[in-house]
Amino acid sequence: MADERDYRIRMDICLPPEAVNHAASIRQALLPFLQHGVVIKEGEDNEERGFIDVERCGHRLGLPCDKIARWEVDRGKVI
């Protein structure tokens, strides 16, 4: 019997302020893959939609994070 499970890739990387170009490069490299993403249980209360979030993380300084951009499967940029 073939394994029909989906692949899920999770990533969480904090980069220092001087690495802003690296952060942008990672985001640009990943964006094309959103077109191949699937929405699990679409339209249901427990829908799972793939995404890429970009945040300014203040945890190192004792501050909260600020979400500055979000891309979602089948929706594109939503923030």
At 34-69, the pLDDT tens digits run 889 999 999 999 999 999 999 999 999 999 999 999
Alpha-carbon distances, residue 12 vs 5, 33, 53, 57, 73 (angstroms):
23, 17, 10, 11, 18
pTM surpassing 0.75? yes
| Residue whose structure tokens are 């893959």 | 33
User: Which of the four pLDDT bands, split at 50, 70 and 90, describes residue 27?
Assistant: confident
Which tokens in the block code for residue 61? 């300084």
**Cα–Cα distance between 63 and 72 in angstroms, integer?**
26
Per-residue pLDDT for 23 more than 90?
Answer: no
3-state percent helix, strand, coil for the chain, nearest multiple of 5: 30, 20, 50
- According to DSSP, the residues that pair with 53 across neighbouring strands are 70
Per-residue pLDDT for 77 more than 90?
Answer: no
